[in-house]
Amino acid sequence: MLKDITLGQYYPTKSAIHSLDARTKLFATIIFMISIFVVNQFWPYLIILLSIISVTKISKIPINYVIKGVRPLRWIIAFTFVINMFFIHGDNIIWSFGFLNISDLGLRTAIFMALRLIFLVLGTSILTLTTSPIALTDGIENSCAPLKKFGFPAHELAMMMTIALRFIPTLLDETDKIMKAQMSRGADFESKNIVNRAKNMVPLLIPLFVSAFRRAEELSIAMEARCYRGGDNRTKMKQSIYTKQDYLAYLMTILFLLLIILSRFINLI
């Protein structure tokens, strides 16, 4: 399951999506996230799904590689679906058993929430898969640059966010190594008994926390050894420059948002 987590990982290849400026992809991702919550019908989700498939094809990333990032969250999605289905009540009751009731409003809301979570994971995964950590740091910093006039720590925030994303695959690899070491000593992480699996997680978490703090200390020492003092007066080897592809991507993103907003007023399904 750990290998299924794609968030924070970078898929190196040459494509039109990879070559876009990080600021463009950040803007597109934010608009995509907004559009997911703007939708109030089912049929616009088909447009969103087709958009994800199209972007994935253009980025030359295997679709299965993107989809498998949803698998680790399947229990959270299922839990959210069940909670919304049983605890949101409507006038039209579809199914009833004792104190449990399922209404059309509850079922509709449950499906909406599940789709939103799935599309959120897919959209954010495409951002990290097509943007290197360094480019993502520069994109966040440049996007927040106007806020520096008000004392906003744009560089520091971008650095923290990028380091957090960068360490996700590193910690996953570390977790996998610790799990294999514990399994060789008799630990059972695949038991169907949830209580036993929870107990076996304790010897896994302690060395994982120790390893995380050790890596954080090593990173801080490495940054100090290289005289890192924040973003003041720092130069960049690669400057962020917009191209025609970026402007086209901005235009397509805005048209996509307008189409999603327009869908609120078109009742089909």
* pLDDT at residue 216 greater than cutoff 80: yes
* pLDDT at residue 51 greater than cutoff 70: yes
Distance of alpha carbon 94 from alpha carbon 225, whole angstroms: 65
pLDDT band for position 170 (cuts 50, 70, 90): confident
Residues whose CB is less than 8 angstroms from the CB of residue 261 and which lie 6 or more positions away in sequence, other chains included: 38
Span 144-153, average pLDDT: 76
* pLDDT at residue 3 greater than cutoff 60: no
65-115 pLDDT, tens digit each = 888 878 778 888 888 888 888 887 777 777 777 777 778 788 888 888 899
Q: What is the pLDDT of residue 7?
A: 62
**pTM across the whole model:** 0.75
pLDDT band for position 54 (cuts 50, 70, 90): very high
**Contact (CB, 8 A) for 1 and 71:** yes
- Of the candidate ranges 18-22, 33-37, 205-209, 226-230, the one whose mean pLDDT is the lowest: 226-230
**Contact (CB, 8 A) for 230 and 155:** yes
Residues whose CB is less than 8 angstroms from the CB of residue 3 and which lie 6 or more positions away in sequence, other chains included: 172, 176
Distance of alpha carbon 187 from alpha carbon 180, whole angstroms: 9
Q: What is the pLDDT of residue 131?
A: 87
Residues whose CB is less than 8 angstroms from the CB of residue 104 and which lie 6 or more positions away in sequence, other chains included: 90, 92, 94
